[in-house]
Structure 1
Amino acid sequence: MKPFKPLLLTATHLLSLAIGFAAGIYALPILIAPEAPTAQDVAAQASTAQWTATFRRDLKDSDALHWGEGQVSISAQAIALEGRLAPGPDYKLYLSPTFVETEADFNRLKPQMLRVGDVKTFDNFIVALPQGVDPAKFNTVIVWCESFNEFITAAQYR
């Protein structure tokens, strides 16, 4: 029985370390996120929107840890969300000419997409469009986790 004890202690300590590491990966983006734009800020941005769409939790590759919900507003200057995203690291906002809801489709169509910018908040966001970008050339807005190649959510606006 004595030789089993060091093995059991090692296994439980490694398991605790793995759980702590996973919790840290999940919690860090929440802890370092800047203050989210207020509902009034998002509403002001939405008032100039040319298109709106809805992020939904029920997309094919959305799951309990990778989802978005809320109203997305797209204007010539910015894309804004009044809603929420599942917390995560390294979220990027893309415009796509084709609606996608799976990681496989995203990776296949990524060369045709335009990376707009970083999403750093999880309750509401406003991401400015780079100068010269015409959202009318696209029809879908996508949130993608670049670090882990995870599909978060998408909404078709045209």
Structure 2
Amino acid sequence: MTASAPTPPRRRTVLLLASHALTLLVGFGAGIYALPILTAPTGPSAEQVAQAAVGGMYRGEFRRDLKDSDPLHWGEGTVSVSPQQIVFTGRLAPGPDYKLYLSPEFVETEADFKRLKPGMLRVGDVKTFENFIVPLPAGADPARYTSVIVWCETFSQFITAAQYRDPT
């Protein structure tokens, strides 16, 4: 016996299942990307961010060109760190479940983040993708750290980092 080509109704069923599965996957992926954008609260205004940054003791910069940043995971702008809060002026790639950390070392890869995470301070949630102000937990001392990191907790994805002071 030789193998024969699928009959037209069977082939049509296979093509329909494949096309529907592909559509479902594309829709799911688009939903994961779009949902944080649609549900994000409005970020602080430029005036609010500028006023909050005045008391900053340290400054750093989020850049797009870090090792593990890519077209879907990046940040660009200025970070100001004070004993009370971290203030960001700029933009982040949208995504779910972003967390802000202070790190004792500058990192720009997922592997380095995971290695150093036990010694980091989780500051709080980042819920906006343009400008943010995140209060520091009571008793936190930013002088014990050197860098600010944005990390996607759900997908264990490095987003961006900024070194705000040299290690001493």
The residue that corresponds to 2:115 in the other structure is: 108
Please list, as runs of the form range in 1=range in 2, the aligned pairs for 1:112-131 lying within 5 A after superposition: 112-131=119-138
> Deviations 1:71-113 (Å, cap 9, x if unpaired)?
1000111001100000000000000000000000000110010
Q: Gaps spanning 5+ residues in structure 1: where?
A: none
Out of 46, 50, 59, the residue aligned to residue 53 of structure 2 is 46
**TM-score calculated relative to the size of structure 2:** 0.93
The residue that corresponds to 1:87 in the other structure is: 94
The residue that corresponds to 1:4 in the other structure is: 11
Letter of the 1:145 counterpart: C
**TM-score calculated relative to the size of structure 1:** 0.99
State the structure with more CA Rg.
2
Whole-angstrom distance in 2 between the partners of 1:72 and 1:101: 16
Whole-angstrom distance in 2 between the partners of 1:108 and 1:115: 15
The residue that corresponds to 2:20 in the other structure is: 13
Letter of the 2:12 counterpart: K
How big is the shift at 1:3? 1.4
Q: Gaps spanning 5+ residues in structure 2: where?
A: 1-7
Q: Which runs of 4+ in 1 moved over 6 A?
A: none
Say how many residue pairs are matched: 158
Percent of pairs identical after alignment?
Answer: 67
Letter of the 1:44 counterpart: Q
Q: CA RMSD in A?
A: 0.5
